[in-house]
Structure 1
Amino acid sequence: MVYYLLRSQSDGKYVVAYPETEIEGKNPQGYLLVFPEHFEALSYVNAHAPHLANRCGVESITPNQLKPLLQRWGYVGIGMVKDALLARIEFLTI
């Protein structure tokens, strides 16, 4: 199994979600957006941030690489994108 991530080509940061359920005044904790298919990642950025589409690249990652990446960047979990066009995301804390 392979997952796909969106990453900025200019600064190397990943596309992250900050759910509205965060408590105000607290440092928001991000969820790394993960896509099941390469084309889903492209569809997501084209639908919701077309002005950034040419600045993002798609990377692949295996499940074994996911946890170390989350720890390295300080993310609290993943946001598994279930529908790229409707932005339906399932948040999972690791």
Structure 2
Amino acid sequence: MLSQVYYIIRSRLDGNYLTANFSQSSSGTKSSYLLMFREDFEALSYLNTHASDLSDRFAVESVPGTQITGLMKRWGFAGVGIVQDPLLPQVEFLSSVS
């Protein structure tokens, strides 16, 4: 995972990353997972399929696997969601270990 380049989607308006958010019903806390794609065209396909009217408000950025841990710590993400199929979507969630 560290030697691979991933693609993430970022808002052009406020700079936030596209995330999946989960709420723990028992504790009321919210966990955010950074959505990552293996190819840039998969990220664009995801946007065009699920937010075609808003796709001009987002940009696709590349991030090396070595920078993902720092990005997660800086933004407080609970983990990452690697999108396996951008059309369905099918996502594999991985939690970070503190």
Per the shorter chain, which TM-score range?
A: over 0.9
- Bigger fraction of residues in helix: 1
Q: 1:18 aligns with which of 12, 15, 21?
A: 21
Aligned counterparts of 1:32 and 1:61: Cα–Cα separation in 2: 12
Aligned counterparts of 2:66 and 2:24: Cα–Cα separation in 1: 31
Q: How do residues 49-88 of structure 1 correspond to structure 2 at under 5 angstroms?
A: 49-88=51-90
* Cα shift readout 1:21-71 (whole Å, capped 9, x = no counterpart): x32261311000000000000000111111220000000001110000000
Letter in 1 for 2:94: L
Percent identical residues: 46
Could you say what the CA RMSD is over the residues aligned between the two structures, in angstroms? 1.1
- Bigger fraction of residues in strand: 2
Letter in 2 for 1:48: H
Unaligned ranges ≥5, structure 1: none
1:35 maps to what in 2?
37
Paired residues, what number? Answer: 92
Q: Secondary structure at the match of 1:50?
A: coil
1:46 maps to what in 2?
48
Aligned counterparts of 1:17 and 1:50: Cα–Cα separation in 2: 18
Aligned counterparts of 2:83 and 2:8: Cα–Cα separation in 1: 10
- The normalised TM-score by structure 1 is 0.93
The offset of 1:18, in angstroms, is 1.6
